[in-house]
Amino acid sequence: MPLAVVPKPASITPGTGAFVVRASTTVSVNPSTPETRRIATVLAGVLGVNVGSAPAPIALELGGPPQLGDEGYELTVAGSGVRLVAHAPAGLFYGVQTIRQLLGGRRIPAVRIRDRPRFGWRGAMLDVARHFRPMRDVKRFVDLMALYKLNRLHLHLTDDQGWRIAISSWPRLAAHGGSTQVGGGKGGYYTGQQYSDIVRYAAARYVEVVPEIEMPGHVHAALSSYPKLSCDGKATPLHTGIEVGFSSLCVDKALTYEFVSDVIGELARLTPGPFIHIGGDEAAATKPADYVRFVRRVQEIVRSHGKRMIGWEEIGRVKLHPSSVVQHWTLDTGRSALSARGAAQGAKVIMSPADHAYLDMKYDASTQLGLKWAGYTSVRNAYSWEPARQVAGVGASSLLGVEAALWSETVRSMADAEYLAFPRLIGIAEIGWSPMRGRSWADYRTRLGAQGPLLRALGVNFYRSPEIPWR
Ligand code: TNX
C-alpha cells in the first residue's frame, strides 16, 4: 500500500506511476551549504545513490514560501523526478523522512504533498534516572524520533534513584548519585562532554534537548551524595526501589539555592535550547507553602541563567512568569486544574496526559513490562485523544504541543524501551504533527501497519499489537 505516511501530511494527493531510483540517479541541493548538503547526504544514503552538483532528477531546494514555516515542505514525485522544497533546512529534513516512508524497493510512488506541523513542540521524554541508558541508546532513540518528525528530547536526568549528569562543582552527584539504579544495577551518568555530544547529535536531526533536574522532591540521589543538602544533614544510602515521594530539598537553607544555581547554571551553559525543566511533581515531602516559595525562587534562578522554566503541572500553584511552561500529566480533574491555573497566568502548556501519553503504561493485562496506575494504554488509546480538549481552560491557544513520557522503573534495556515506545510513540507524533481534521483511527491503523517493514528493517523491537494490520 503506497502513500502510508505517518504522521499524516497536512495535504497529500496521489499521482500515477512512480519515480524509480537507479544506481546512476543523483541528488542535488540548492543552495548547497554544509547543512543542506548534510540533509541531501542523508537522503542519498537512504536511496543508495550519490549527491551530485549538477541539477539532478532528485532536487532539494530551499526558497519555498514562508507559509511552509521552519518545518514544512512540499514534495512532488513524478515518473520524471522528485522535487523537495522547503523554506528552512528542518523542512527539507522532514521531507526526507517522508521520502524514507514512501520508498518501496527502488520506487517512490507519484504524489504531491504539502505539509507542515500543527504544533511546534512534539516531544518524547526518556527517564534515564530510574534505569540509565547509555549514549548509543539515546542516539538510537533520537534517530527513531526524527523518522516520525518529533523534535524535542526531554531527558529526565535525576530522580530518587539516580543522578545522571556530571556537575563540576558538585562531583559526588554523579560519582555517587549515579552509581546505581532501580534494582541495584551499576547505573551510570553522562559527562558534560557526553551530554554535549547528545545535544549535537540531536540538533543534527532537528531535535532539541530539554534537560530536567527534579526538585524539590525526587532528590534522594542528590541528598545521599550531599547529606548537607537535607534539613537534618544525615547521611543515607542510595535508593534502588521504585517508591518515591519521600525526599525533599531543604527549602530554608541558603545552601539549597547555591546548589540549584550551580546545577542549573552548568546545565544552561551546556544546553543551547531555551528550556530547563525543573520537575516539581509529587513533592509529597515538601509542605505546600514551602513548595510555592521554593519554585518561585527556582523560577528566578532559571531566568537568571537566561532560560525558560518548565515544570510538571504542580507548578500551576505558583505565580508563574509568562515565559514559564507547564507540563500536564495527571488524569484526575481536581489536580488537572493546576495546568489550567498555569494557562490562566499566561504560561504555555505541554500535554502529556498519563492515560494516553505515558509510554510506560502496559498495553493490556498481558503486557509483562510497564506499570498500570493510569490504566492500560492500547495503541488505539494512545492515538485517540485531542490535546486541546484534555483540560477545561487549556485550549489550543495555550498549547505548545504534546509529549510522550517513557518512565523507566520497569525498563531495563533498550529492547524494553522500544517495546513500550513503539508503536505508541508514533501515534503521539501524529497527534503533534497532523491537523486534527482528517485524523481517524481506521485510517491511522492502516498507515501504521505499513510502517512494519521499515521498523523491522531498523531492528526496532516494537509491540506487534493485534490492533494493527501489520504488513
Ligand atoms: C509519575 S509523571 C511520575 C513519575 C513516575 C511515573 C510512572 C510524573 C511527573 N511523576 O515519577 O515515574 O508516574 O508512570
The tens digit of pLDDT for each residue in 82-115 reads: 999 999 999 999 999 999 999 999 999 999 999 9
Give the pLDDT confidence score for residue 54 in this predicted structure: 82
Grid cell listed for 399: 498549547
pLDDT(53) > 90: no
Res. 335 pLDDT band, cuts 50 70 90:
low
What is the H or E stretch that residue 34 is in?
A: helix 34-47
Residue 282 designated active-site:
yes
Pocket probe for ligand 1: among 407, 411, 424, the residue whose CB has the most ligand atoms within 8 Å is: 407
Tell whether ligand 1 has an atom less than 6 A from the beta carbon of residue 358. Answer: yes
Tell whether ligand 1 has an atom less than 6 A from the beta carbon of residue 418. Answer: no
More confident of the two residues 161 and 331: 161
| Ligand 1 centroid, distance to 335 Cα (angstroms) | 15
**Which numbered atom of ligand 1 lies nearest the CA of 358?**
14
More confident of the two residues 1 and 6: 6
9 prior amide bond cis, ω within 30: no
What is the H or E stretch that residue 292 is in?
A: helix 288-304
Tell whether ligand 1 has an atom less than 6 A from the beta carbon of residue 371. Answer: yes
**Residue 254: Cβ within 10 Å count:** 8
Tell whether ligand 1 has an atom less than 6 A from the beta carbon of residue 360. Answer: yes
User: Considering the chain, what percentage of its residues have pLDDT values greater than 90?
Assistant: 97
| Ligand 1 centroid, distance to 70 Cα (angstroms) | 33
* Mean pLDDT (whole number) for 363-374: 98
Res. 3 pLDDT band, cuts 50 70 90:
confident
Tell whether ligand 1 has an atom less than 6 A from the beta carbon of residue 121. Answer: no
| Ligand 1 centroid, distance to 333 Cα (angstroms) | 17
Pocket probe for ligand 1: among 214, 281, 313, 325, the residue whose CB has the most ligand atoms within 8 Å is: 281
Res. 2 pLDDT band, cuts 50 70 90:
low
> Measuring from atom 12 of ligand 1, which residue has the nearest CA?
407
Res. 332 pLDDT band, cuts 50 70 90:
confident
Over residues 420-450, the pLDDT tens digits come to 999 999 999 999 999 999 899 999 999 999 9
**Which numbered atom of ligand 1 lies nearest the CA of 327?**
9
Q: Whole-number mean pLDDT of the chain?
A: 97
